[in-house]
Amino acid sequence: MRRLSAVLLCAALWAACDDSPASGTPPPPPFTQTFPDGGTVDAGPQEPSACQRDTVVHGAPMSLLSQLQLEMSRATTGEARVAAIDRFVAAVAEQGGAPLVNDTRSIRPRVAFFVRGDAGRDTFVAGAFNEWSATATPLVQVRDTDLYVAEVDIPRTGPQPYKLVKAGNYFQDPAAHHVVWDGLNRNDVGQFNSLVYPGLQDTTKGRLTAWYGVHATALNDARDVFVYTPAAYDGEDCPALPVMYFHDGNESLTRESFADAADAWYAAHPGDSAVLVFVALPNQNVRLAQYTFPPKKDPNWPTPLGNEYLGFLRDDLMPRVEAAFRVKTGPQDTGIAGASLGGLISAYAGFQMPERFGFVGCQSGSLFWPHDGQVDRDDGNAMIVRAGQDPVVALRFYVDHGSPTAGCTRDDEPGGDDCQSSLQFVAALKAKGYTVAHWNEPGAAHDWSFWKKRLPKLLCSFRNADPKVCGL
């Protein structure tokens, strides 16, 4: 095995060196930032096409693997080999993420996939390039290391989706920055395909950048975040766009793709374009705790952690987004939105943090909260009370919901879709003078398909202060 690994390592080194640009001219130096288009809002004139996706959206260069192989050949101790791999992994993350790709002028379209640690053992790469075979393309251990690598020729005919496979289970590459939904509605948290050649995605549509394991200081947990940048973001003028944060970020992209709905709306209304940040949960078991707030009405409920969750958004996530992407800052250009409990915590965020959020989107929100276990009892409907009694703050609201075809009596009646508390919330907001865009869809269920259908109204309301512009 040692001899085979050594042969493969040498062969890979030879192949990487052989794949020099056909023209014989040296390739341009690689970018040295993970997101080189970040932080340019006030940086003055840009280089031509400096923010275009074919310039800034790519995998890390194959030269990093050649450099690693050179360092490994010179290493004389295990510690030196580990240090070399540490530098390699950090450089890949900094220069575009996995997989590594050859320069566009290279003779061979060589691509390298890798996994570090035990996760790489008995792991394969599957994609359109090998007909999604779970066994055709194994990752091979590099001698005396915990690094597993596979090299494949993949034509640059477009963005090439792939997944890693272990024990027959397919999953996205945690070292890849660019993803698309795999198109399978699992009626639960879904999955993404990672991309080779992400810069070749359809320029008339947006793209998704994945951040895995984003740490939440106040909650001491980590979650995935997916940043949707619309087609307009990659425009030649390098625009800075408003930004909106969505809860249930994984489900809203993989149950009924909110990204597809945004693409369709922004294609027809490019002036409404915004960066959308989809914030996933660490797991579904914490949803009730992190999307609710004190007081705890029932000893059987989890301790409410909504304040800590909002602290994560404010202190950990928003600064990172604002540093990495060209987004406008200030409450007038920042929104927060969600469905069901996500709508509840969005309304709460608006009242708690109007200095950060100026727009609240609430789809079928659980606005009856808190209650004592009996839906619609007069026990304090917290957001309705705050809307009617708190001092007015600089917020705009979008509220939608379904209802029975014959009207609305209770939230929990068949087809109610939280209609009663939503109507009470809208009435309380309007009585205080708030701008409210409101939509009731009779017959609509409490389901992702209806929230996706109504999403364009929310996106329009975020960018247009007058509800009439959005037909509301």
Query: Domain ranges in the chain?
Result: 2-164, 202-470
What is the rounded distance in angstroms from the CA atom of residue 126 to the CA atom of residue 124? Answer: 7
What is the rounded distance in angstroms from the CA atom of residue 355 to the CA atom of residue 374? Answer: 34
> Does residue 51 have a pLDDT over 90?
no
Other Cβ atoms within 10 Å of 183 Cβ, number: 12
Mean pLDDT of the region 279-308: 93
Question: What are the distances in angstroms from CA 60 to CA 9, 12, 93, 453?
Answer: 19, 17, 8, 37
DSSP 44-59: -SPPTTTT-HHHH--P
Q: What is the pLDDT of residues 58-73, one digit of tens each?
A: 999 999 999 999 999 9
Which CATH architecture fits 202-470? 3-Layer(aba) Sandwich (3.40)
Band of residue 168 on the pLDDT scale cut at 50, 70, 90? very high
> Does residue 371 have a pLDDT over 70?
no
What is the rounded distance in angstroms from the CA atom of residue 55 to the CA atom of residue 31? Answer: 9
Percentage of residues in the chain having pLDDT higher than 90: 79
Mean pLDDT of the region 291-307: 90
Query: CB-based contacts of 121: which residues, under 8 Å, 6+ apart?
Result: 141, 148
Q: What is the pLDDT of residue 297?
A: 77
φ, ψ of residue 107 to 5 degrees: the values are: -65, -45
> Does residue 3 have a pLDDT over 50?
no
> Does residue 468 have a pLDDT over 70?
yes
> Does residue 264 have a pLDDT over 50?
yes
> Does residue 37 have a pLDDT over 70?
no
Query: What residue ranges in 217-289 does DSSP mark as E strands?
Result: 221-229, 243-246, 275-279
Band of residue 14 on the pLDDT scale cut at 50, 70, 90? very low
Amino acid letter for position 458: L
Band of residue 23 on the pLDDT scale cut at 50, 70, 90? very low
Q: What is the pLDDT of residue 40?
A: 37
What is the rounded distance in angstroms from the CA atom of residue 410 to the CA atom of residue 416? Answer: 6
Q: What is the pLDDT of residue 287?
A: 97
